[in-house]
């Protein structure tokens, strides 16, 4: 009777009650130790468990602290793995962990059809307004703008420099005032205002260059030299791969998504931290070599001067926004292409090529080929405006 009560109290298994002698006693002790709930002990803290707990959430994008803070960064690498690094880690972690964003990420599943429909509508409206308000010789102000600049000095090199200077002043000035402007009127409104002023000036520079590219004093003539055409074509093609990292966020460019200041660290950024400047250099090298006159030389100097200023300004903006995290990115990247790779500060992953096999880079390639094939149409349109 007593044994039955004990079996009932401690829920011994039927097989256990069939054991006899010392074997039964030993099994009883083992069963009691498993069935009786022990008093819960406080869990010991473990750095490994804390690290695993930090990696549990699925982070879709980088999270950066404000300037001067020292907190962990959790980012997703090009392979999709979540990595954890602090801005006070050793230089070894600088080589192996991402602090900036993974550039060119585009997941179709994350896209909304409504956003791209809205983007198409916005693009159509912007182009229509640009044509009516600026390009159309009958209704636009573009012709009057160029004529006003030519009234000071009719030399085409001087007018080209004036257009580039005004564009640089508006574009770089607007970038410097971005933080204050966004606080005042909001990110989307400031992007619309910024683009609304910059775009007509950029188009004016392109049209004026096309119409007057063969003006000025001829300094050299190498167009008949074998291989020069192929070299210039390749340089021009490569330049566009560097020139347009903004296509990483087309929806932000059109203010469909809220515009942000991004700090990329993969893809083209591993080669150079300022791809637009490098791309502009390649473009100027190709066109100046091919055309070989004073007008193209002056234009190239103006463009490169603006982009070199943009290198300094861009670093200042990223430093102001991301603080010490930008210093980590700055240490393992370079302005001069491949410099950080050659001196060991940038270590390329084995699957580095996969960082270029993404939709934004395909878009850039398609746009570049389309622009080349559209040269006759672009030249016709520029001549039609007569600037």
How many other CB atoms sit within 10 Å of the CB of residue 142? 22
174/198 Cα distance (integer angstroms): 9
Specify the pairing of strand 82-86 against strand 72-76: antiparallel
Contact in structure between 340 and 346 (CB atoms under 8 Å): yes
CA 149 to chain centre: 35
CA 234/CA 35 separation, integer angstroms? 76
Strands (E), 28-120: 72-76, 82-86
Contacts of 87 (CB under 8 A, 6+ apart): 65, 70, 71, 73, 99, 323, 324, 325, 327, 328
Q: What is the pLDDT of residues 8-56, one digit of tens each?
A: 444 444 343 343 444 443 444 344 344 444 444 444 444 434 433 433 3
* 3-state helix vs strand vs coil in the chain, percent to 5: 65, 5, 30
Is residue 158 a contact partner of residue 295, using CB atoms and an 8 Å limit?
Answer: no
Cβ-count burial of 361 within 10 angstroms (0-12 exposed, 13-18 middle, 19+ buried)?
A: buried
Which residues, in sequence order, are CB contacts of 311 under 8 Å at separation 6+? 274, 277, 335
Q: In which residue ranges of the chain is pLDDT below 70?
A: 1-96, 245-247
Q: Which neighbouring-strand residues pair with 293?
A: 218
Spatial separation of the C-alpha atoms in residues 188 and 194, rounded to whole Å: 10
Q: pLDDT at position 247, please?
A: 63
pLDDT of residue 51: 38
- The C-alpha angle with vertex 298 and arms to 290 and 278, in degrees rounded to 5, equals 70
- Residue pair 271/337 in contact (Cβ under 8 Å)? The answer is yes
Give the pLDDT score at 246: 58
């Amino acid at each position: 009777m007593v044994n039955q009560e004990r079996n009932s109290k401690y829920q011994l298994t039927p097989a256990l009650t069939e054991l006899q002698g010392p074997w039964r006693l030993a099994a009883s002790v083992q069963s009691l130790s498993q069935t009786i709930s022990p008093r819960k002990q406080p869990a010991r803290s473990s750095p490994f468990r804390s690290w695993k707990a930090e990696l549990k959430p699925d982070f879709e994008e980088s999270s950066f602290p404000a300037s001067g803070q020292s907190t962990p960064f959790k980012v997703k690498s090009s392979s999709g793995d979540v990595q954890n690094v602090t801005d006070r880690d050793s230089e070894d972690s600088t080589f192996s962990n991402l602090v900036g964003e993974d550039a060119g990420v585009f997941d179709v599943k994350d896209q909304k059809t409504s956003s791209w429909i809205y983007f198409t509508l916005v693009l159509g409206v912007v182009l229509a307004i640009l044509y009516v308000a600026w390009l159309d010789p009958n209704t636009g102000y573009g012709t009057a703008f160029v004529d006003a600049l030519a009234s000071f000095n009719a030399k085409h090199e001087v007018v080209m420099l004036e257009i580039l200077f005004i564009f640089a002043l508006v574009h770089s000035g607007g970038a410097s005032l971005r933080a204050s402007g966004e606080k005042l009127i909001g990110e989307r409104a400031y992007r619309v205002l910024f683009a609304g002023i910059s775009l007509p000036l950029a188009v004016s520079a392109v049209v004026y260059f096309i119409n007057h590219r063969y003006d000025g004093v001829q300094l050299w003539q190498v167009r008949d030299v074998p291989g020069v055409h192929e070299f210039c074509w390749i340089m021009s093609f490569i330049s566009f791969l560097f020139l347009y990292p903004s296509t990483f966020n087309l929806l932000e460019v059109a203010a469909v998504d809220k515009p942000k200041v991004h700090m990329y660290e993969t893809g083209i950024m591993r080669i150079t931290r300022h791809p637009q400047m490098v791309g502009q250099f390649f473009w100027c090298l190709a066109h100046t070599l091919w055309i070989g006159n004073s007008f193209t030389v002056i234009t190239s100097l103006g463009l490169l001067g603006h982009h070199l200023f943009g290198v300094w300004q861009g670093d200042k903006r990223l430093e102001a926004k991301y603080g010490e995290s930008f210093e980590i990115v700055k240490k393992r990247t370079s302005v001069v292409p491949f410099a950080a790779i050659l001196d060991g500060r940038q270590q390329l992953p084995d699957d580095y090529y996969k960082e270029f096999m993404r939709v934004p880079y395909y878009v850039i390639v398609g746009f570049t080929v389309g622009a080349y094939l559209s040269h006759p149409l672009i030249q016709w349109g520029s001549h039609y405006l007569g600037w």
